[in-house]
Amino acid sequence: MPQNQNPVLAQWLGPYGLPPFGAVAAAHYRPAFEQALAEHRAEIDRIAQNPAAPDFDNTIAALEDSGRLSRQVGAVFWNLCGTDSTPELEEIEREISGVLARHASETSMNAALFARIDALYARRGTLGLTREQLRVLELTHKDFMRAGARLEGAQRARMTAIVERLARLGAAFSQNVLADESSFLLLLDEDALDGLSESFRASAAALATERGASGKYGVSLSRSSVEPFLQGSARRDLREVAFSAWAKRGENGGETDNRAIIAEILKLRHERARLLGYENFAGYKLDDTMAKTLEAVRALLDEVWAAALEQARNERAALQATIEKEGANFQLGAADWRYYAERARKERYDLDQAEVAPYFQLDNMIAAAFHVAERLFGLRFVEQHGLDLYHPEVRAFEVLNERGEHVALFLGDYFARPSKRGGAWMSEFRGQEKLAGDIRPVVVNVMNFAKGAAGAPQLISLDDAHTLFHEFGHALHGMLSDVTYPCVAGTNVARDFVELPSQLYEHWLLEPGVLRRFALHAQTGEALPEDMLARIVAARNFNQGFATVEFCASAFVDLDLHERDQQGEIDVGELERASLARIEMPADIIMRHRAPHFSHIFSGDGYSSGYYSYLWAQVLDADAFEAFKEAGDPFAREMAEKLREHIYAAGGGQDARDAYTAFRGRMPTVEPLLRQRGFLTPD
């Protein structure tokens, strides 16, 4: 298909440089990838075979400028695979993931190209580069080294095969999780809704109707559906059905079972690390992080784990006492914890989720996130209508700065649907850069909120509101990016630093001034009562032992799986059980993400040996928010300007430790995190 007839390949001339979504069909992707990769190979060959001596512009900048067509095609394809998957897209995904991985591997192991990069790296101190250029050169050299640029012969061929196979396995893992999530629907009758709020009932009725079961109430495995059900349902038998399905995603036997895939992934990752000279895959991954070493990560996890485990045991005892007080004759189970925790929350803080829910309308929480960005960074968000977007539910906002100049286009895709993979994330259809002109980003936030009944106010939980603020923090990291080179733009930072902008942003959700303005009752329009606001703020540390234990357990298992020698048969279930036994995991709490559906670490290797990053970044974000407390104002102008300059706008243009120190004046300590979670007595 000629380029001018393929909308994925054509120059995107629509408003804000959006892809022509309405013109794109699944049949366009294969020929688009083929042509884009052919062009990129030709570009790489021209750089590698350039007769001129290597310099920054003809090698590093040229490499950064190459592959634009491939990135353009991939931006549309991979975003839609996550949000609107179809059998046709899944088939292409399984095929193209390996093709792209092979292409990337062959590029990284192009001997002539690496020779030019290596020569520049050897004399980097004499080239007169800017700080950002030097950083790009160093990162490019390191990326090529970590991809196997120095390998030769059979080792080089084996590395290419491993990378290609891992990409295919990651795609299969992701598709299996999506299949298990989308195939489950627990249908309930009216008499099975005891304990569930009116807002949950409305969204459950809408879900059942959408799935062709009008008159029933549906519970899906979307976190925004199953967690409120587990928190509210008085039916222990139904809680156990939903919880079991949630816990066993990817572990149900048959074609969607991920255990054999995980075993092969672990073996191949270990082999890859050994080829590159590392003892294990954990060592390989951590070498390229802010933490640097496994010892540093385990020291943090151990310190937090000890405090969290003690807290969780105290929480468990209180919940068991409630069960016994009611005369029930059973031990608290994993499917019970959320239900009894919600009852304890109500008793201790007089907080009932059904009472709180009407104050958290989705539109108002979006407006609250925008408001905080305006107060901190001077941004304005103007909704745009009539744009050609990839789904009717997606909303678009032009982002303007204080001078009314265009900053970015922000897309919000908020509701769960069967074609969308679970979870929440930020992505880009176009990243910021200045290499090819002042290119402004097109950023998307994807959520999986349970959709309410037609015409009714769309309510979300307080946890959902935290998720919205979290992902919007990532979005701001992409939108405020102000660098020249694509490889260091936006969220292209160390994995254990990338969560700082998102987790830090969550702090502003619970600022009293924000809640007073945006937490308005859906029916009356009245502001959140002051006593309820105080109770919400007071309850922020409630159940933190449980939350921290379920998180840390996943982080420990992630590290244990990738640190071990992967010889012999691998029984993923047994490895998971052994890891949890080592840390004395409570029987009534499960990992936040069990291995068979742990997409963070097995759908790709972005967070493999790196799930701890959320905790590492929480040390940073707790310390960073204290800077605003010390300034006496959560919107302190001087701190906000430093935050924008050194964190949100800087991308990966400097080492993460240097970036944080430039903002804070020092590296953080763990005490603010422990205080934030209620594990230490406040000063």
DSSP per residue, 269-283: HHHHHHHTT-SSHHH
Q: What angle do CA 586, 592, 594 make, to 5 degrees?
A: 90
Torsion angles phi and psi, residue 472, rounded to 5: -70, -30
Give the whole-angstrom CA distance, residue 85 versus residue 662: 42
DSSP structure string for 497-523: TTTHHHHHHHGGGG-HHHHHHH-B-TT
Does residue 369 lie within any of the structural domains?
A: yes
CA distances from 40 to 44, 100, 103, 449 (A): 6, 11, 9, 39
Handedness of CA 19, 25, 31, 37 (dihedral sign): positive
Does residue 159 lie within any of the structural domains?
A: yes
**Cβ atoms < 10 Å from Cβ of 192:** 16
Asked whether the beta carbons of 314 and 348 are under 8 A apart, the reply is: no
Does residue 419 lie within any of the structural domains?
A: yes
Burial of 67 (0-12, 13-18, 19+ CB in 10 A): buried
Based on the fold, state whether residues 121 and 243 are members of the same structural domain. Answer: no
Give the whole-angstrom CA distance, residue 202 versus residue 204: 5
Q: Which helix (H) or strand (E) holds 444?
A: strand 442-449
Last residue of a domain, one of 137, 153, 179: 179
Give the whole-angstrom CA distance, residue 600 versus residue 612: 11
Based on the fold, state whether residues 114 and 235 are members of the same structural domain. Answer: no
Asked whether the beta carbons of 539 and 345 are under 8 A apart, the reply is: yes
Q: Which residues pair with 185 in a beta bridge?
A: none
Instruction: Give the CA count within 13 Å in the CB-facing half-sphere of 475.
Output: 32
Give the whole-angstrom CA distance, residue 268 versus residue 274: 10
Distance of CA 431 to the CA centre of its chain: 17
Task: Provide the CATH number for the domain around residue 504.
Answer: 1.10.1370.40
Give the whole-angstrom CA distance, residue 48 versus residue 390: 38
Last residue of a domain, one of 207, 231, 248: 248
pTM value?
0.93
Q: Which two tokens stand for residue 169?
A: 């396995």
Based on the fold, state whether residues 189 and 45 are members of the same structural domain. Answer: no
Q: Mind telling me the catalytic residues? A: 471
Based on the fold, state whether residues 124 and 226 are members of the same structural domain. Answer: no
Based on the fold, state whether residues 196 and 131 are members of the same structural domain. Answer: no
Asked whether the beta carbons of 92 and 29 are under 8 A apart, the reply is: yes
Asked whether the beta carbons of 147 and 109 are under 8 A apart, the reply is: yes
Last residue of a domain, one of 179, 202, 234: 179
The confidence score (pLDDT) of residue 452 equals 87
Does residue 362 lie within any of the structural domains?
A: yes
Residue given tokens 């039916």 in the structure block: 235
Does residue 25 lie within any of the structural domains?
A: yes
Handedness of CA 625, 626, 629, 633 (dihedral sign): negative
Strand pairing category for 425-430 and 442-449? antiparallel
Based on the fold, state whether residues 139 and 223 are members of the same structural domain. Answer: no
Does residue 96 lie within any of the structural domains?
A: yes
Per-10-residue mean pLDDT for the chain, 683 residues long? 78 92 96 98 98 98 98 97 95 96 96 98 97 98 97 96 97 96 96 94 94 96 94 97 98 97 97 97 95 95 96 96 91 97 91 87 98 98 97 97 98 95 95 97 96 90 95 98 98 96 97 96 95 91 95 98 91 97 96 97 95 96 95 97 98 96 94 88 56
Based on the fold, state whether residues 175 and 188 are members of the same structural domain. Answer: no
Based on the fold, state whether residues 143 and 209 are members of the same structural domain. Answer: no
**Cβ atoms < 10 Å from Cβ of 180:** 24
Does residue 223 lie within any of the structural domains?
A: yes
Give the whole-angstrom CA distance, residue 237 versus residue 230: 11
Based on the fold, state whether residues 233 and 130 are members of the same structural domain. Answer: no
The confidence score (pLDDT) of residue 352 equals 81
Q: Which two tokens stand for residue 674?
A: 């422990």
- Find the distance separating the first CA and the last CA of the chain, reported in whole Å: 67
The confidence score (pLDDT) of residue 454 equals 85
**Cβ atoms < 10 Å from Cβ of 595:** 23
Domain that includes residue 473, residue range: 358-480+497-541
Q: Which residues pair with 527 in a beta bridge?
A: 520
Burial of 274 (0-12, 13-18, 19+ CB in 10 A): middle
Residue given tokens 């007073």 in the structure block: 516
Based on the fold, state whether residues 77 and 208 are members of the same structural domain. Answer: no
Does residue 193 lie within any of the structural domains?
A: yes
Based on the fold, state whether residues 172 and 190 are members of the same structural domain. Answer: no
Residue 186 carries which DSSP code? Answer: E
Range list of H helices, 1-86: 29-48, 62-65, 68-83
Q: Which two tokens stand for residue 331?
A: 């031990």
Based on the fold, state whether residues 216 and 128 are members of the same structural domain. Answer: no
The confidence score (pLDDT) of residue 174 equals 96
The total domain count for the chain is 3
**Position 607, amino acid:** Y
